[in-house]
Chain A
Amino acid sequence: MQWASWTEFFNMGGYAIYVWPSFGLTALCVVWEVTALHRRSKEALRLARLLAQE
């Protein structure tokens, strides 16, 4: 283990403002992409069902 405490871990040797946004933005993109695809898939199924029943 590299860190003596959680504070030290979050501080990232003074580089916290560079390290955490890098990983945070990546996580945000993943969450956004998956949610957007879930929504798109639901909408596509709904429209297909609507068209099929006409």
Chain B
Amino acid sequence: MNINWFKYSTPQTFYPLAGRMIPWFAWSAVVFAVVGLYISFAIAPTDFQQGEAYRIIFVHVPAAWMSMFIYIVMAVWAAIGLILNARLSAMMAQALAPTGAIFTLLALVTGSLWGKPTWGTWWVWDARLTSELILLFLYLGFIALQAAIDDPRRADRAGALLALVGIVNIPIIYFSVKWWNTLHQGSTINMGAAPKMVATMLIAMLLMALAFWMYTIAVALMRVRCIMLERERTADWVKELLGIKSPEGKS
């Protein structure tokens, strides 16, 4: 394989490439969401214990998965940015944080809306819920820290350190239902074991997760393009992109 990956690691080549990729991811997200929602509401059977309230899991579980996955991806980009001093990697980390925060908030709120009819309470301070709330604070802390530092490269380094320290929270969230006696139930889908749920329910959940994945990639690419333009608006590649000749070219 003779692909020069470094060619795409600079803003001037990545900006147009990201622009071409966005519609593909956006439309896949729409297709997965439409099919996923149809199966969630029209085909998946009523749960014999929870009635129709269980349908909240079709948005709750994928949102909770995304909240953790996005954090890991964000921390990896931040680490690459820190180690290789690569500005595009740091911008990718920055572009993922708001979407991660939104999914964390959605996981918490939809969990609460499911908890009220099923557990009889909106909120308990159990290990799963508390560690997920800490995840929201980590995302918000990362965003606030980056916004508070004027020099973007220093902001990247500070944010990367926070993201890397915060990654210890991810296994805590994931294994909390095993390590502690939580009100939150254990995972229904385990690697290496048959899922303990009806096939149509599982398919609906996986399709919604795929839709969220595609959505996340599309919005992260949209955001990273904004960040590139905002940070490098005086760079020559931006002028070329806008079709404006640099002053040297005119004379």
Question: Which residues of A pack against B, CB within 8 Å?
Answer: 1-3, 9, 12-15, 18-19, 21-23, 25-26, 29-30, 33-34, 37-38, 40-41, 44-45, 47-49, 51-53
Contact = CB atoms under 8 A, between A and B. Distances in A.
A37 B219 CA distance: 8
A18 B233 contact: no
A32 to B, nearest CB: 9
B233 A47 contact: yes
Nearest to A11: B52
**Chain B contact residues, majority secondary structure:** helix
Contacts of B34: none
Interface of B: 37, 41-46, 51-53, 55-56, 59-60, 63, 98-99, 102, 105-106, 109-110, 113-114, 116-117, 215, 219, 222-223, 225-226, 229-230, 233-234, 238-239, 242, 244
Given A18-B117, A41-B226, A2 B42 contact: yes
B53 to A, nearest CB: 4
A2 B226 contact: no
Given A25-B110, A37-B223, A41-B222, A15 B51 contact: yes
B109 A25 contact: yes
11 contacts: A1-B42, A2-B43, A14-B52, A18-B113, A22-B109, A22-B110, A29-B105, A30-B215, A34-B219, A52-B244, A53-B244
Contacts of A33: 98-99, 102, 219
Contacts of A53: 244
A34 B215 CA distance: 10
Contacts of A13: 46, 51-53
B225 A15 contact: no
Contacts of B219: 33-34, 37
B41 to A, nearest CB: 7
Nearest to A40: B226
Contacts of A19: 52-53, 55-56, 113
A22 B51 contact: no
B229 A26 contact: no
Contacts of B229: 41, 44-45, 47-48
B102 A29 contact: yes
Contacts of B233: 44, 47-48, 51-52
Nearest to A16: B52
Contacts of B215: 30
A28 B53 CA distance: 20
